[in-house]
Structure 1
Amino acid sequence: MAFDKNDKDDLSAKDAIEERLNWVRRWSRIVLRQLARSVAHEEVIQHAREEGQMSGRFVFMVVMSCAIATLGLLLSSPAVIIGAMLISPLMGPIMLMGFSLSTFDFPAMRRAMVSMAWGVIAAISISFLIVRLSPLSEVTPEIIARTRPNLFDLLVAIFSGLAGGYATINRKGETIVGVAIATALMPPLAVVGYGLAVGSAGISGGAFFLFMTNLLAIALSVTVLSRIFSFGASHGRRSTLWQSVAIVFVFGALSIPLGLSLRDIAYETQAVSTVKSRILLPFDDEEARISDVSVAFPRKESIQIDATVLTKTIVPNAETTLAADLADQLGRPVIVNLGQVLVDEDKELEAEAFLRLAESSLAAPLRTEMSRLEQYGQLRQSEAELRAAIPFQVTAADIDAASRQATLIAAPQPGLTVTSYRTLETGLSGNFPDWSIKVIPPTSELPLIGFDNGSDVVSPANAGLIDDILWVLDRWIVKSVEVVGYASTSGEVRRFDNQSLALRRAQNISTILEERGLIASPTGEYRAFRQSTDEKLRGYQRYQTVLIRPTG
């Protein structure tokens, strides 16, 4: 059979490719043999076994590290979180898991998994306990950052695992690399405990998925690197092939959801940028500006946008126009809640007109008038900003921009208490320090002041509530009150003692009020013949209280 020239050329090209592949294989084997000769395999394995075994020191250091990390998360302090990693011992069991998988040492793998399991339980438990006892339980940016793992988190874990395996094999820099590995593992565990403590399945579930992603990625990265250094080489090619397939499968399974999460995060970032760039589309950009924008992305629902725009002219149907435009831009239904705050900025145009007139012979009087109008415009703008910042409904508002004084009469709103209105007044005063702001709560029954069973002494926990009541009485301009004390039926056989207890409670509260300049009339109320029935309806604790009634 004869070959033409093209067939010969094809054979020559295939031979050249095969020769290059053989050359790469030869040099790869040479490099791997050289790497294997530079490592004391037995010493490395023995060291990994010692560091990965279960011990009291391991559990104690995990608890201390997670406690510090939890406090750092609650305080939103990256420095504290990183500091917690310096004492974390999690690197030991993970290294042992990676090496035992490489050498098929299943007893060692079982010991490593037991150590890691006890570490996880101890870490989540101390985090749960700290959050439950802490007065700070708000979600911080550091906590949120560990509830949505993505593909970048997987890459961080892979690089940490490779660095950790290399440091362990060469017995150099293990402490520093251990910090990097603990950074990828301990904060997610602390967030799992936080989510369980506050009852948020979304937070604890997302953080646990991040922890498992990092744990598997680090351990498998150690396995890959250890095989490169010829750990477990005696098991043959078939075992190596099985390991490779398993590792590729795990990384592939992790990459799919993490890649989708990264895609969602990228979409949300781009969507927020698009919203901010187009929020003024229905307005004249020279006459309107954005006060605040909030964008929410509920799962499989419309994007929700809440925004406030400061404008000189109210634009009808602005929400509809903006929602249609953003839905077209973002490819999803959009719900827009747009608040338009009317502001007066004509002072700039007036100033320009008076500057032109100032060139005439009437320059001095016109400059004076121009200055007066500028000040008037600034007062109008300051008043508008204050009105826009009021976070509750008002029935009336007396705002004097010239003297920087404002009195706001609040409308009744479900869920807002006396303490809430006082807090709102404090917040407004803090945001407008040069203003004197008073918030007058709507008239309603004052909150009950509670007492311990059988006690007539005001507990420290109620001192703040008494201050809030005094604050609202001052806002209502109340000078005299009736103080009614109650006692429960728990001492029914000592009826006269309960009558005395109710009166003593009222007298003690009256003394506090009189020290603050109020006229107080104490009364003790105890009706055993029907009170036990009322207690079943209204609650036993209702009659361990004192009620203050304004009288004038």
Structure 2
Amino acid sequence: MERLKKLFDLRHDQDENSVIDSSIRSGERIVGTNLWVLIFAILIASVGLNVNSTAVVIGAMLISPLMGPLLAIGYGAGISDYRLIRTAARSLLVFAALSVLTSTLYFLLSPLSQAQTELMARTTPTLWDVLIAFFGGCAGIVAQTRRGASTIVPGAAIATALMPPLCTAGYGIAAGNWHFVGGALYLFLINAFFITLATYLFVTLIGLPQHESGNPRLQRRAHILIVLGVLALGVPSAWLAYGLVQDQLFLAASKDVSAALDREPNAVVLRRDVDMARRTMAVTLGGERIAPATEAVLEKRLQANGVRQARLVLRHVGAEKVDVTTLRNELRSELMANVDGQVQQRTVALDAMHLQITKAEREQAERTALIPQLLAEYRTITRVSVAQGLRMARGDTAPAAVMVLTLEAQPRLREEDLERIRAGLAVRFAANPVEVVQALPASAKRRRKGRP
């Protein structure tokens, strides 16, 4: 027993009392470094919550100085230094107000206004948040009283998550969502109070020396305030935790009842509605009516795990007998027929597109082959251009496709050569009208342009 007691003894690596006192007091001071680090941390946390990045939020909590004032308040209560309590509480209020203001300004300027899951997770505190804050505070004060550097304090800051609730409150103010503001500030109060409570209990447990200004009357008053704080913050969070557990139990029971209804041989489930607030599950059924005894058994299954107020409402569409197996097969066949029809329509459309692409590629290849043929047959041609366009004359109702062949020759082609080219193209491109145009060579254009 003595060996076990020695194993869990906190005094063998405890730092000097004066060093502990100086270290805790330095964490609650409102100085330039702490304020700038706080602003940077709250901006990082706001960005992380805005883009739903857990890793970024954790990084902000690692550098946050918010644990300092809370440890100082609990330490001051443990050693009866009420001046330290007042200055640390003032620092905490300044830190919290600056954090909310910074996050509000960020969310007012941010183009991302959708509330992500990381934000919504900080709006409904429960008993588990109380436990996390308390044990995180225990770890924080134990680390603060040890010799040498420790990674426990940053870890405790991550676990208790002081920054995200203040960022969520800023988001709520920016978005005008006061439910977010209330829930987030309540979570921050829970974290702050129970970290302070854990610090106070451990300072008392390890027997740090009392401050010379200690007053028994003030100590009794502090004890009363601590009890009232535990009741004011712990009881509502315990009730919220109870409601969350009931929601999960009811959801699991509703899934079980839904699966049982799916297995009924002569009924088919047409619709399911689950009302978490009223603890009601309404199911619309087709086919034969469920027997009252079976319905009673299903409702008892819905009320399992202590959800006694749960109700099952079964609505029947038609009381005539229906061959449910045949109905299911028909529904499946109809669904497959619709799918097959859609696939066939898309196949036909794709085939048509493929034909059009093939035709266009063939015509393009023929037009491309035409150019070297003309250059080889008519040595005087210096330039050939082939283009596909539209032609419309006055009085026509719609434009028609036309292929335009533009030639430049030096000397110019005779008219009978042009007619021979037109005749050959008319046979070769029978489905597409062709216009042959002989343009002036570039040198002739320059001479004409230079004439007075």
Q: After TM superposition, is the score higher than 0.5?
A: yes
Point out where structure 2 has 5 or more consecutive residues left out of the alignment.
350-452
Match of 1:153 among 129, 135, 140: 129
1:187 counterpart letter in structure 2: P
1:77 aligns with 2:56: no
Tell me which amino acid in the other structure corresponds to 2:81: D
Residue number among 247, 261, 266 corresponding to 2:240 in the alignment: 261
Equivalences for 1:156-175 in 2 at 5 Å?
A: 156-175=132-151
Q: Residue 122 of structure 2: SS of its match in structure 1?
A: coil
Residue deviations 1:142-166 (CA, integer Å, cap 9, x gap): 2222211111111111111111101
Indicate the RMSD between aligned Cα atoms, in angstroms: 4.5
2:254 aligned partner: 275
**1:20-419 alignment, distance < 5 Å:** 35=11, 38-184=14-160, 185-233=162-210, 235=214, 243-279=222-258, 284-285=263-264, 295-298=274-277, 302-303=278-279, 325=299, 329=303, 330-332=307-309, 380-381=334-335, 400-404=338-342
Cα distance, 1:288 vs structure 2: 7.7
Tell me the alpha carbon deviations over residues 50-92 of structure 1, each in whole angstroms, 9 at most, x when there is no partner: 2210022222222222222222223333222212212211122
Identity, % of aligned positions: 25
Matched to 1:143, the amino acid is L
- Taking the aligned partners of 1:133 and 1:260, their CA distance within structure 2 comes to 37
Cα offset for 1:177?
1.9
CA deviations over 1:281-304 (Å, ceiling 9, x no partner): 555446888899674444xxx346
Structure 1 residues 189-220: Cα deviation after superposition (integer angstroms, max 9, x where no partner): 11111222222222211111110011011012
Change (3 A) 1:84 1:46: same
CA distance in structure 1 between the aligned counterparts of 2:112 and 2:282, rounded to whole angstroms: 27
CA distance in 1, matches of 2:60, 2:272: 36
CA contact (8 A) 1:192 1:203 kept: yes
The superposition leaves residues 29-66 of structure 1 with CA deviations (integer Å, 9 ceiling, x where unpaired) of xx99x949954112211121222100222222222222
Tell me the distance in 1 between the aligned counterparts of 2:57 and 2:274.
29
Q: Is the 8 A contact 2:136 2:159 kept in 1?
A: no
SS at the partner of 2:145? helix
- Give the distance between the partners of 2:45 and 2:344, measured in 1 at CA: 44
SS at match of 1:401: helix
Tell me if structure 2 keeps the 8 A contact 1:192–1:204: yes
CA contact (8 A) 2:11 2:206 kept: yes
Cα distance in 1 for partners of 2:339, 2:76 equals 75
On the 8 A contact 2:35/2:95 being kept in 1, the answer is yes
**Equivalent runs, 1:14-25 vs 2, <5 Å:** none
Aligned partner letter, 2:58: I
Secondary structure, counterpart of 1:60 in structure 2 = helix
Name the CA shift for 1:339/1:73 in 2 (closer, same or farther; >3 Å): farther
Q: Is the 8 A contact 1:379 1:401 kept in 2?
A: no
State the distance in 2 between where 1:84 and 1:113 align.
22
The aligned counterpart of 1:460 is: none
Deviation of residue 312 (structure 1)? 8.1
- Cross-structure match for 1:427: none
Once the two structures are overlaid, the 10-residue window that deviates more, 65-74 or 88-97, is 65-74
The structure-2 alpha-carbon separation of the partners of 1:159 and 1:280, relative to structure 1 and needing over 3 Å to count, comes to closer
Q: Matched residues in 2 for 1:101 and 1:64: separation?
A: 30
TM-score by length of 1: 0.50
2:334 counterpart SS class: helix
- Asked which structure has the greater RCO (Cα within 8 Å, sep 6+), the reply is 2
**AA paired with 1:144?**
M
Instruction: Give the distance between the partners of 1:135 and 1:338, measured in 2 at CA.
Output: 46
Task: Give the secondary-structure state (helix, strand or coil) at the position aligned to 1:212.
Answer: helix
| CA distance, structure 1, for counterparts of residue 340 and residue 300 of structure 2 | 41
Q: Distance between the aligned counterparts of 1:243 and 1:229, measured in 2? A: 19
CA shift digits 1:497-530 (9 cap, x unpaired): xxxxxxxxxxxxxxxxxxxxxxxxxxxxxxxxxx
**TM-score by structure 2 length?**
0.60
Displacement of 1:263 in angstroms is: 0.8
Change in 2 beyond 3 A, CA 1:346/1:124: same
2:114 aligns to what SS in structure 1? coil
Q: Distance in 2 between matches of 1:130 and 1:86?
A: 20
Could you say what secondary structure the match of 2:113 adopts?
Answer: coil
Which secondary structure does the structure 1 equivalent of 2:63 belong to?
coil
Structure showing greater radius of gyration is 2
SS of the equivalent of 1:162 reads helix
**d(CA) in 2 for partners of 1:233, 1:110:** 17
Matched residues, number: 331
Structure 1 unaligned regions, length at least 5: 1-23, 350-375, 384-399, 408-432, 437-552
- Report deviation, 1:169: 0.9
